[in-house]
């Protein structure tokens, strides 16, 4: 695994990393019970890769986590190369075990996703980020998306599955809705795990509205933003950005 320096661009991001570096087991439960609808988001990604893109591609997975979900998605696509980037040691250790299930050459980089696009050997085909971009404030989100846009190959795409506020819903209202849904549905979490997750979300999550995500894309130079999937809770949406 290569190492890259941490960006100082987003102090919020350092706090956001803490739970993933020290308590990966809590997030693993969210994946195990699919509380954040990662599986359906990956299914929508798969449909895009097969039905819309329809050609071989190189895939960059920013803030990849343990890659337990994405490997199943990518296994049945014409993927030519996989690169996963994350800063959580426990997640990357599991990801290294899961790499074997991919049908292509692959690499994992222990690096900050906000700087990972800067040292590409060639333009990127598909850049994917899931449940991680929302830790950055709007300015840092915009700067990052501009870097992604600038490094996409012709015909490439950027896909982001991220917390999304309803129009007119402010951050406190979104967080209250998030917590109410969690209390109702996430019954396999212990009280401590739920409290830990909510502490992270309330401290670190900066969701945008659909209009906000669209405007960030436009300002970064993307020609179109399309919503490919919305979670049943209406907490998360998958956006496809095309140059
Ligand atoms: C909620 S998890 C999402 C993991 C995976 N993308 C998924 O959808 O299951 C957030 C991930 O972002 C990673 N992360 C947060 N900030 C990061 C940064 N600045 N650079 C790289 N990884 C980061 C964490 O270590 C963690 O693996």
Domain with residue 57: its CATH number is: 3.40.50.150
Residues in Cβ contact with 98 at an 8 Å cutoff, skipping those fewer than 6 apart: 66, 67, 68, 71
Q: Which of 47, 2, 37, 45 is nearest to 186 (CA)?
A: 37
The residue whose CA is least distant from atom 1 of ligand 1 is 131
SS3 3: strand
Q: What is the pLDDT of residue 168?
A: 97
Residue 113 CB–ligand 1 contact under 6 Å = yes
Nearest ligand 1 atom to the CA of 7 is 19
Q: Judge if the beta carbon of residue 64 lies within 6 A of ligand 1.
A: yes
19 in ligand 1 pocket by Cβ < 6 Å?
no
Per-residue pLDDT, 12: 61
| Residue whose CA is at the smallest distance from ligand 1 atom 8 | 130
| Residue-level pLDDT at 10 | 45
**Residue 8: what pLDDT?**
36
- Is residue 114 lining ligand 1, measured as CB closer than 6 Å? yes
Question: Residue 110: which of 152, 143, 62 has the closest Cα?
Answer: 62
Of 124, 229, 232, 110, the C-alpha closest to 181 is: 232
Cβ of 86 closer than 6 Å to ligand 1, yes or no, is: yes
Boundaries of domain holding 110: 2-242
Whose Cα sits closest to atom 27 in ligand 1? 65
Q: Is residue 20 within 6 Å of ligand 1 at its C-beta?
A: yes
**Per-residue confidence (pLDDT) for residue 20, from 0 to 100:** 85
How many distinct structural domains can be found in the chain?
A: 1
Q: Which segments of the chain have a pLDDT < 70?
A: 1-13
3-state secondary structure of 93: helix
């Amino acid at each position: 695994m290569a190492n890259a320096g941490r960006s100082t661009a987003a102090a919020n991001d350092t706090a956001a990393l803490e739970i993933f570096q020290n308590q990966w087991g809590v997030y693993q439960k969210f994946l195990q019970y699919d509380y954040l609808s990662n599986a359906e988001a990956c299914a929508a990604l798969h449909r895009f890769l097969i039905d819309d893109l329809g050609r071989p591609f190189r895939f960059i997975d920013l803030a990849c986590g343990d890659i337990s979900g994405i490997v199943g998605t990518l296994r049945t696509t014409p993927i030519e190369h996989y690169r996963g980037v994350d800063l959580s040691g426990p997640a990357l250790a599991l990801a290294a075990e899961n790499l074997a299930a991919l049908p292509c050459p692959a690499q994992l980089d222990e690096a900050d996703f906000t700087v990972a696009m800067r040292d590409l050997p060639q333009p990127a085909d598909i850049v994917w980020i899931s449940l991680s971009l929302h830790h950055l404030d709007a300015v840092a989100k915009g700067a990052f998306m501009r870097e992604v846009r600038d490094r996409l190959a012709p015909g490439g795409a950027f896909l982001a599955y991220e917390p999304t506020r309803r129009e007119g819903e402010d951050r406190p209202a979104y967080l209250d809705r998030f917590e109410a849904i969690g209390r109702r549905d996430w019954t396999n979490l212990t009280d401590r795990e739920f409290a830990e997750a909510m502490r992270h979300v309330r401290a670190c999550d900066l969701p945008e509205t659909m209009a906000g995500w669209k405007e960030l894309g436009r300002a970064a130079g993307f020609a179109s933003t399309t919503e490919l999937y919305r979670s049943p809770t209406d907490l998360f949406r998958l956006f496809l950005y095309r140059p």
